[in-house]
Structure 1
Amino acid sequence: MKRFCLLVCLLTVSSFNWAAEPGFRAGAFAQNISPTTFPTPVNGSMKGNHAKGISDPMHARCLALHDGKRALVYVVVDACMIPREICEEAKRLASQETGIPAAHMLISATHTHSAGTLAAVFQSDPDPEYVKTVAPNIAAGIIQAVKNLEPAEFGWAFGSEPRHVFNRRWHMKEGQYYENPFGITTDRARMNPGAVSPVVSVPTAPVDQDVAVMAVRALADGRPLALLANYSLHYVGGNTAISADYFGAFAREIGTRLGAEDERYAGKPAFVGIMSNGTSGNINNINYGSSLRYKRNPGEQINIVAGHVAEVAQGAYETIRWEKEVTLDSEEADVELAVRKGTAEEMAQAKEWLATIPRDKDGQWSDKKAIYARETVLLADFPDTVPVKLQAHRIGSLSVAAIPCEVFVQIGLRLKETTPFVRHFTISLANGYNGYLPTEADHAMGGYETWRARSSYLEVPASTVVTEKLEDMLGAMKRRMEE
């Protein structure tokens, strides 16, 4: 039985007349979506936290492409994760105004752990009044990016930055054990085990060092319009106020490096730098194989990482072979995947722990058994299956995939190997949030990313279903290109 349904979207009537301006065009815009009421809930920890102010604002960074027949829109939002409902509403509003089908729009989160909460995860719940503002603001950004469309050239390139990506899951040594939040001691992988831990041996998987870059520049004067990069790093962290993390710092840094603020471009749409999150579900910024550590001031590591990655992106940009004619294509599908829920026995245990484990003075739990017991109870109300939206895009000879999960790096590396196009990258946390996407082998090893919770609830074979479906979608675009 097929586990997916293809989505068909019809072009709506709007005031935008694509036929009037043939040829490849691009436009970009960065829309501020920051909360304005403080303190405001912040995602990223097992306990709910609140930010009292803004270090650097949250944006929805939008890039619109049009080849004269088809449009593709990319939006990268400074958020930890974005529920599907917000993405769908933003697309509906933008499609209504622009006539671009919602299926041709990709909206992803960066996964900064210093953004206003949009999705309820662990003990962090969003401010419903703030949530109401987000979809309209994202839509406004898309609409302005489309209004900014102008004749442009497109190009892509890849660089490499190995200094800031480390697999955070490590193999337990033979004879070493630990108890997970479900009272089980059979996990054979441990996340963030501590520097040079004597109980672990080697990381469980490789990393992806690629810095992928796709960029557009104005045909009239060669000025840079936008650059969208992709790097498989979970996040950096280090801020206590609202912050776009290294994703926002990269956006600023790459604009400076490309000379986008040159006074010659005054009065024209501002350059938009964009960093999307690659397949970083099991990747972080800390080398647990080394005891060497540096003391950093708040935000300092963010700027170090952003600077290094922007330097690599700039080098890649300088190698781009620009194209004036570029063909766009896309596929979108929902796969229906089962939800992992607790058994009757596990539910009974969860309820017992919740009744007997005391809360802290703030009314929340610190004990992980209680935290995960609460997740078990909450997951019982989930449907038995959920739709997981997948997208595959082609921009000339480059392919891009989008998955609404915290995707393990092995999945992204496989798609890079199997794409029928010249190069490929994958954007995670796109078009919704369906938790972690570990491989089946990683599920067998256990560890944090596999522990059943609203942050990790898809069926064990989910990664296989997702990967194979995306490979089919990429193949379909390749066949159309060859027709």
Structure 2
Amino acid sequence: MRLRASQPRGRALQADRTVWEIGVAQRVVTPSLGSQMAGFDARKGVAESVHDDLHARALALTAGDRTALLVSVEVIAVSAAFSAAVRQRVREATGVPESHIVLSATHTHCGPVTLNHFFNQGQALDDGYLAKLADGVVEAAVAAYGERRARTLRVGLAPAEGIAKNRRTADELPIDPFAGVLLVEELDGRTVAIAVNYACHTTCLGPDTLSLTQDFPFYTLEKLRAELGSDVMAMFFNGAEGDLSIGHKSDLSAVGVVDSFRTFATAKTLGERLADAVLEVLPTCAAELAEIAVIRREVALPLKSYAPLAAMTERKIETKAAIDVDAPLLEQVKSKQQYLFARIEEYYARLYEESVAAEPKALAVEMIALRLGSTVFVSLPGEVFVRISLAIRERSPFARTLFLGLANDYIGYVPDEQANATIGYEVVAARVTTAASEVMEQAAVEMLEGLSEAKQRENAA
């Protein structure tokens, strides 16, 4: 079906205020078969097949003399260096400032290796593929910019149930209960593109999967296109998904214990469930006024300190030696977890020791607050726990506050204070301290308040 705007076009003045210049474009960035795959320390083997292609999908929005570029990159993550180089190339080609460009990784664990971090230490990087990926992202962004024309943008929040679960709590809560929806239409109401923003690990498929795939978002986007039109570009943006998955426990998954429900069939069920939630809310999505504002801030997140590297290396060796392949399965799992945790902490200890910053050491990260009409997005440079995003939303002066996860950088996990009170994979895999969540929350709120105050001044002028 083709959905039309639920509101009449109205007077010329109203139409003028809701008309944007919007362009969309995409490029395939699927690696070749035989490529290394990222996301699971326990995975054995390389890419043997392509279940569905991976893409860079770009949305360019212009209001007046300001343009924003949002790019969904269907890979596990992008590094700060990769992002900086790509955004510079896009700026040089389009004139759009780097602070107005956000690359957000969907975080599929069934895609190529795009960086080295705690979860894939020493895994081979293919410079040829990384160059191809960069070209694909740049080409999609530049093409979207060049394809801009007079269009409208409608935005809504879709209640989404039965998809994400909190993988660290007994009641599987909290989660982000909403999916953000952006609908781009021609002035006659024909659908051009749709973007879905939803917080959840894209890990329906486990370490035993050797097929390249977007994971469950593939089925979300396919169903949306089937309903809205095959020529519609559909794109997925992740959110604050640090402690959210489809039900499996990370402590087990990280050491190769794969739940039986982690299949393509589950991905299809959950992906289409998300699409259904989005489709239901489309008729109520409101037209956004063509307004763009951006605030960028560099935020210093305090780093954990570690024992001397030599001691951490010794612990890693000891935990590896303690693994007994003849022991009962539960004992093997526990010993493998201890070895994995020791490896992660040794990795971070090395980074800490190599840092030249004086004590207390901190990690500088970029955050961006982007206002599109009355909807705001906050970029998050890693895997941020959902309580942090919910706290930001609660304090936000805007009715619709959404989050672009794994954006322009990958710093690992950022747990909230409550989660940091317990141990577990994500907490061990966080390089930053408990205080980092408070710093990130406060920085986001201050940026949102800054956007709100600027909007009030503009309205009063």
- Structure-1-length-normalised TM-score: 0.79
The answer to whether the 8 Å contact 1:47/1:123 transfers is: no
Match of 2:272 in 1: 307
* Secondary structure, aligned partner of 2:279: helix
The answer to whether the 8 Å contact 1:106/1:430 transfers is: yes
* Secondary structure, aligned partner of 1:40: coil
Match of 2:235 in 1: 274
1:374: how far off? 3.0
Given candidates 328, 331, 344, the residue that maps to 2:292 is 328
Matched, 1:69 2:87: no
* Secondary structure, aligned partner of 1:142: helix
The answer to whether the 8 Å contact 1:231/1:276 transfers is: yes
Given candidates 95, 100, 104, the residue that maps to 1:104 is 100
Q: Give me the whole-angstrom Cα distance separating, in 1, the residues matched to 2:263 and 2:454.
A: 50
Match of 2:341 in 1: 372
* Secondary structure, aligned partner of 2:266: helix
Q: Give me the whole-angstrom Cα distance separating, in 1, the residues matched to 2:376 and 2:310.
A: 43
1:437: how far off? 0.9
Matched, 1:209 2:177: yes
The answer to whether the 8 Å contact 1:391/1:401 transfers is: yes
1:298: how far off? 4.1
Matches within 5 A, 1:32-431: 32-36=28-32, 38-47=33-42, 49=44, 50-121=46-117, 122-123=119-120, 125=123, 126-170=125-169, 202-203=170-171, 205-219=173-187, 221-238=188-205, 239-258=209-228, 260-261=229-230, 270-286=231-247, 298-323=263-288, 325-344=289-308, 347-354=310-317, 357=320, 367-382=336-351, 383=355, 384-431=361-408
* Secondary structure, aligned partner of 1:207: coil
The structure-2 alpha-carbon separation of the partners of 1:337 and 1:322, relative to structure 1 and needing over 3 Å to count, comes to closer
Matched, 1:458 2:429: no
Q: Give me the whole-angstrom Cα distance separating, in 1, the residues matched to 2:383 and 2:411.
A: 8
The answer to whether the 8 Å contact 1:205/1:410 transfers is: no
Matched, 1:475 2:449: yes
Deviates more, 1:127-136 or 1:75-84: 127-136
Q: Give me the whole-angstrom Cα distance separating, in 2, the residues matched to 1:65 and 1:413.
A: 26
Structure 2 residue runs of 5 or longer lacking an equivalent are 1-17, 250-258, 324-332, 356-360
Q: Give me the whole-angstrom Cα distance separating, in 1, the residues matched to 2:239 and 2:313.
A: 34
Structure 1 residue runs of 5 or longer lacking an equivalent are 1-21, 171-201, 262-269, 289-293
1:349: how far off? 4.6
1:142: how far off? 0.1
The answer to whether the 8 Å contact 2:319/2:338 transfers is: no
The structure-2 alpha-carbon separation of the partners of 1:251 and 1:359, relative to structure 1 and needing over 3 Å to count, comes to farther
Q: Give me the whole-angstrom Cα distance separating, in 1, the residues matched to 2:260 and 2:437.
A: 38
Q: Which structure has greater helix proportion?
A: 2
1:418: how far off? 1.4
- The residue type paired with residue 100 of structure 1 is V
The structure-2 alpha-carbon separation of the partners of 1:446 and 1:153, relative to structure 1 and needing over 3 Å to count, comes to same
- The residue type paired with residue 303 of structure 2 is V
Q: Give me the whole-angstrom Cα distance separating, in 2, the residues matched to 1:349 and 1:390.
A: 32
- The residue type paired with residue 141 of structure 2 is I
- The residue type paired with residue 213 of structure 1 is V
The answer to whether the 8 Å contact 1:336/1:388 transfers is: yes
- The residue type paired with residue 331 of structure 1 is I
Q: Give me the whole-angstrom Cα distance separating, in 1, the residues matched to 2:345 and 2:399.
A: 43
- The residue type paired with residue 103 of structure 1 is S
- The residue type paired with residue 347 of structure 2 is L
* Secondary structure, aligned partner of 2:411: coil
* Secondary structure, aligned partner of 2:114: coil
The structure-2 alpha-carbon separation of the partners of 1:349 and 1:149, relative to structure 1 and needing over 3 Å to count, comes to closer
- The residue type paired with residue 302 of structure 2 is A
Match of 1:193 in 2: none
- The residue type paired with residue 243 of structure 2 is N
* Secondary structure, aligned partner of 1:332: strand
* Secondary structure, aligned partner of 1:367: helix
Q: Give me the whole-angstrom Cα distance separating, in 2, the residues matched to 1:94 and 1:369.
A: 43
- The residue type paired with residue 350 of structure 1 is T
1:371: how far off? 3.1
Q: Please give the per-residue CA displacement for 1:339-361, whole angstroms capped at 9, x wherever unaligned.
A: 324213x741532532783599x
Q: Give me the whole-angstrom Cα distance separating, in 1, the residues matched to 2:238 and 2:417.
A: 22
Deviates more, 1:230-239 or 1:330-339: 230-239
1:240: how far off? 2.7
- The residue type paired with residue 216 of structure 2 is Y
- Structure-2-length-normalised TM-score: 0.82
The structure-2 alpha-carbon separation of the partners of 1:461 and 1:204, relative to structure 1 and needing over 3 Å to count, comes to farther
RMSD after superposition: 2.5
Q: Give me the whole-angstrom Cα distance separating, in 2, the residues matched to 1:248 and 1:88.
A: 27
Q: Give me the whole-angstrom Cα distance separating, in 2, the residues matched to 1:352 and 1:282.
A: 27
* Secondary structure, aligned partner of 1:445: coil
**Matched length:** 407
- The residue type paired with residue 291 of structure 2 is T
The answer to whether the 8 Å contact 1:23/1:68 transfers is: no
* Secondary structure, aligned partner of 1:163: coil
The structure-2 alpha-carbon separation of the partners of 1:66 and 1:356, relative to structure 1 and needing over 3 Å to count, comes to closer
- The residue type paired with residue 434 of structure 1 is I
